[in-house]
Amino acid sequence: MKKTKNAFTLVELLVVIMIIALLASMVAPNIFGKLDDAQRKTTKSQLANLSTALDSFRLDMGRYPTTEEGLDVLSVKKSSLKKWNGPYLTKKLKGDAWDNPYVYKYPGKDGNEYELLSYGADGKEGGSDKNADISVWE
């Protein structure tokens, strides 16, 4: 009697690996596209929270923070600010979804009271797609 071994051949293994690679190449771009969308949505949400904190600061102080004071004044009181009733942010300000700092300027442009934005994934002004700037006013 002859014993036979049950096993996969090299050709069968290569076919399975090719099918898996083909499926991965079709699915991966969709997953990475979702990651970019999630980072943009997270940054927009953080900008909205910062805008609310800036409005609360304005209610107490009668003005928005200057560009020199920046966004740090929302968390840490400066001795010169008598009416300060913060902190206006519950968590320490770190940066956008790509760990880039937010851009704050007062006064703003285009008729806005202030300018608050993220430069996107590349951290540089301008850009398109995932590198596009995200403004609180969008």
Strands 134-135 and 103-105: unpaired
Per-residue pLDDT band at 3 (split at 50, 70, 90): low
pLDDT in tens, 37-96: 888 999 999 999 999 999 999 999 999 999 999 999 999 888 788 888 889 998 887 889
35 pLDDT more than 90:
no
Per-residue pLDDT band at 102 (split at 50, 70, 90): very high
Look up the CATH superfamily of 40-135: Glycoprotein, Type 4 Pilin (3.30.700.10)
Percent of the chain's residues with pLDDT above 70 = 95
Domain ranges, ordered by start, for the chain? 40-135
CA–CA distances in Å: residue 42 to residues 31, 60, 76: 17, 28, 24
pLDDT in tens, 109-134: 888 899 999 999 888 888 888 888 99
Of 53, 57, 44, the residue nearest 83 (C-alpha)? 57
Q: Looking at residue 4, what is its pLDDT?
A: 67
Any residues with CB less than 8 A from the CB of 10 and at least 6 apart, and which? none
